Amino acid sequence: MDPLIIKAIIVLIVFAITLLIATYSTYAERKVAAIMQDRVGPDRAGPMGLLQPLADAVKMFMKEEIIPSVSNKWLFILGPCIAMLTATMTGVVIPWGGPITIGETTFDLQITDLNIGILYLFGVVSLGVYGIMIGGWASNNKFSLLGAIRASSQMISYEIAMGFAIIALVMTTGTLSLKEIVLQQDAGFANVVYQPVGFVIFIICAFAETNRAPFDLPECETELIGGYHTEYSSMKLGFYLFAEYINMFISSAVIASFYFGGYNFPFQHELANALGMSANALSILQVVMFFGKIIFFIFLFMWVRWTIPRFRYDQLMNLGWKVLLPLSLANIFVTGIVMWAMGKL
Amino acid sequence: MNKQEEFNTTSESEKVYNILNLGPTHPATHGIFQNILKMDGEIIVEADPTIGYIHRAFEKLAEHRPYNQITPITDRLNYCSSPINNMGWHMTVEKLIGCEVPKRAQYMRVIIMELSRIADHVICTTIIGQDTGATTGFLYFFQMREKVYEIFEEICGARLTTNIGRIGGMERDFSPVAWEKLNKFMKEFPEFLSEFQKLIERNRIFMDRTIDCGPISAERALEYGFTGPNLRAAGVDYDVRVAMPYSSYEDFDFKIPVGQNGDTYDRFMVRIQEMWESISIIRQAIDKMPEGPIHADVPEFFLPDKEEVYSKMEALIYHFKIVMGETAIPKGEVYHSVEGGNGELGFYLVSDGGRTPYRLHFRRPCFIYYQAYPEMITNGLLSDAILTMSSLNVIAGELDA
């Protein structure tokens, strides 16, 4: 078969799974919140409310589309498009599992293994802020503008600390390719053992990058009435909300691959040998394990959101610039010294 | 704490300010308030509040209503704790006509008033949590307000606008179901309250958000005429229940929690502590509950049984008088105040002997708090302004009357 067609199929599968998980994250979020708050949650559409995401999607499409007459129409439409586009583009470099062999050919369960995968990921994620900024500015609403300003300053501040946290990781792994980072964790410990501080910084920044509580200031329903998407309606609003859930899914996948061994799990080869599993079966099991990790982190995102309050704007900036940034720099420094002392440089 | 100076980088002349219209229909203002804010980025330079969006002319309305029909008006002042308003009004009229309420009715009133104080404080504290982003605390603890309303429903048949009690006592005794619900509530509530405290009280983010947020000094608070939890948070131990005891409050042993800085955190903590005190008062009232009548001997305010109306002439006359609003009231002038959910709720009543009051004035604590609001939020951030509003517990219905 033409390798291009195979790639196209894998792209489609990854895209479909991303959308599916993001859709059901909305359901999961509402259920998790309901359980934590002693409520029932959605239970009308389908058994246990399982069709709720579908109903929501239909509702979003059927709603009247309102474009404010004072807004900049092109940018108003462009905003959610960019948000959605950048959110779905990040899934490209993530390795979902080990190779699968069918007949003669071997398929990598990854769309593409860029040798600068981390840089690509980082670049696309930082483009995401444009969606929010453009959308907030084009609405020509003061609350949206405040939300957009908050979002852009927050994302820029936290991207720096996030970048430094990754630099320390790159120092220990010595590669920018996600596939290699995951493969390295097959043999030894997961990276979180070598980079605990980096992991903490990274996960905090991931919360900020996805605009989730306690960093949901750009949306902040209490004071900004939804922030940058105040003026949006119909599926354009849906795109913004959906992009957030896709970002959450991708962030969980990235956290799992960077720090928790990606699709690897402890004693996988021993288990495969003991059970006499074929390589393909092991790969499929790995995919399942990977999704288990991702779902755990998505749950963590929700758990945090429904537990703690949100920061104030100045406190957020203080945390970003005065705590996380120096900490991540120190982390790089300490990592360097330890590597030098162990003779790995 | 001057945040404006901290961020100030441009000179005064080249500054461009942004005018932000916070309200009248803003989801975070919990009612219909408008604030025109002059903003420098996120910092409030000037605040200009507007009131009167739900002004319903209650004081004028009261001049045209017989005394027992004014009770439903008081329901709609601070609708988070309407029973306190009802009781305050009844006590004012009782003071005017010089009627002694039986002990049992007084104790029942204390229980009802403390329950509604709990409901009021539950709303306020959870809303503070909600405005900082802790939605779970809000929705979880809010169930307790529901339980209080269920008790009210059992006592008087209504939940929010209760119209509970009558001039001279109570309209009926607590039913067995009401006792059962009350006892169940007394068992459940402390657990929920301590759970809520554990979730919010020592949370680092919550403390950072609320400490030094919208503070007011004791002197300024007294100058404005603050009362209730907001004054106590600033460190003044004034409580009407102790200063001018009414309805047998002198029989009960309770503490008055006081704060230090008058900021949002102190207002939150004072309310939490007051809920514990309310619980202890209710418990004492249940234990000491005396037997006896539930209504003073003032038949002109107490609707007789239907059977008696049909069989006794006296009852028929009183029934007619009450329904037509022709009860005679002595001439006079009284002021009576009760410790409402969020401050001293006073009733100034002037009677010229007619069937309706000559003049009735409500001393509404929210009206006073809201005057200090612009001063409290100037030079703060927008987020602080929202939190200050919710921690003052300004209720639009009471503010505008």
- Please state, as a whole number, how many other Cβ atoms lie within 10 Å of the Cβ of residue A103: 5
CA distance B386 to chain A (A): 7
Residues of chain B whose C-beta is under 8 A from some C-beta in A? 3, 18, 20-21, 26-28, 41-42, 129-136, 139-140, 143, 199-200, 203, 205-206, 208-209, 381-386
Which residue of B4, B18, B43, B139 is the best one to mutate when testing the A interface, meaning the one whose CB has the most A CBs within 10 A?
B139
C-alpha of A286 from chain center: 20
Is B28's CB within 8 Å of A223's CB?
yes
Is A312's CB within 8 Å of B208's CB?
yes
Phi, psi torsion values for A317, nearest 5 degrees: -65, -40
Query: Nearest 5°: CA angle at B246, between B244 and B250?
Result: 80
Cα torsion for B70, B72, B73, B79, to the nearest 10°?
Answer: 150
pLDDT score, position B1: 44
pLDDT score, position B311: 92
CA distance B133 to chain A (A): 4
Cα torsion for A144, A150, A156, A157, to the nearest 10°?
Answer: -170
pLDDT score, position B6: 53
Tokens 């040998």 belong to residue: A273
Question: Considering CB atoms only, which of A225, A311, A313 is closest to B27?
Answer: A225
A183 token code pair = 């493969």
Q: Compute and round to an integer the Cα radius of gyration of chain B.
A: 22
CA–CA separation, B72 and A144 (whole Å):
42
Question: Considering CB atoms only, which of B27, B41, B132 is closest to A310?
Answer: B132
Question: Which of B69, B114, B164 has the alpha carbon at shortest distance from B282?
Answer: B114
How many contacts (CB atoms, under 8 Å) link A and B?
Answer: 81
Q: What tens-digit pLDDT sequence spans chain A (345 residues)? A: 677 888 888 888 888 888 888 888 889 888 988 888 888 888 888 888 888 888 888 888 888 888 888 878 888 888 888 888 888 888 888 888 777 777 777 777 777 777 888 888 888 888 888 888 888 888 888 888 888 888 888 888 888 888 888 888 888 888 888 888 888 887 777 777 778 888 899 888 888 888 777 877 766 666 677 777 788 888 888 888 888 888 889 889 888 888 888 788 877 778 878 887 777 888 888 888 888 999 999 999 888 888 888 888 888 888 888 888 999 999 999 988 888 888 776
Domain ranges within chain B, ordered by starting residue: 3-50, 58-400
Is B20's CB within 8 Å of A36's CB?
no
> Do A242 and A85 form a contact (C-beta atoms < 8 A)?
no
pLDDT tens-digit map of B194-253: 988 888 888 888 888 888 888 888 888 899 988 889 999 988 888 888 888 888 888 888
B358 token code pair = 């000559």
B21 contact residues in A (CB cutoff 8 A): 142
> Do B213 and B382 form a contact (C-beta atoms < 8 A)?
no
A33 contact residues in B (CB cutoff 8 A): 135-136
pLDDT tens-digit map of A23-46: 888 898 889 888 888 888 888 888
CATH 1.10.1740.10 fits B58-400, yes or no: no
Which DSSP string corresponds to A317-341? HHIIIIIIHHHHHHHHHHHHHHHHH
Q: Which helix or strand (DSSP H or E) is residue B363 part of?
A: strand B359-363
pLDDT tens-digit map of B330-349: 888 999 999 888 888 899 99
CA distance A59 to chain B (A): 23
CA–CA separation, A27 and A100 (whole Å):
32
B80 token code pair = 């988070």
- B35 forms beta bridges with B22, B49
CA–CA separation, A208 and A178 (whole Å):
22
Q: What percent of chain B has pLDDT over 70?
A: 97
Tokens 């599992």 belong to residue: A97
A297 token code pair = 């982190």
Upper half-sphere CA count for residue A290 (Cβ side, 13 Å): 25
A179-186's contacts with Cβ under 8 Å and 24+ in sequence apart are A179/A95, A179/A108, A179/A110, A179/A113, A179/A117, A181/A257, A181/A258, A181/A262, A182/A95, A182/A257, A182/A261, A182/A262, A182/A263, A182/A264, A185/A261, A185/A262, A185/A264, A186/A261, A186/A264, A186/A268
Q: What is the DSSP letter of B342?
A: T
B112 token code pair = 């009802």
CA distance B256 to chain A (A): 29
Domain ranges within chain A, ordered by starting residue: 3-341
Helix, strand or coil, per DSSP, at residue A266: coil
Q: What percent of chain B has pLDDT over 90?
A: 13
pLDDT score, position A330: 92
- For residue B313, with 0-12 CB atoms within 10 Å meaning exposed, 13-18 middle and 19 or more buried, which class applies? exposed
pLDDT tens-digit map of B76-93: 888 888 899 999 999 999
Indicate the pTM of the whole model.
0.85
**What single letter denotes the amino acid at residue A109?**
L
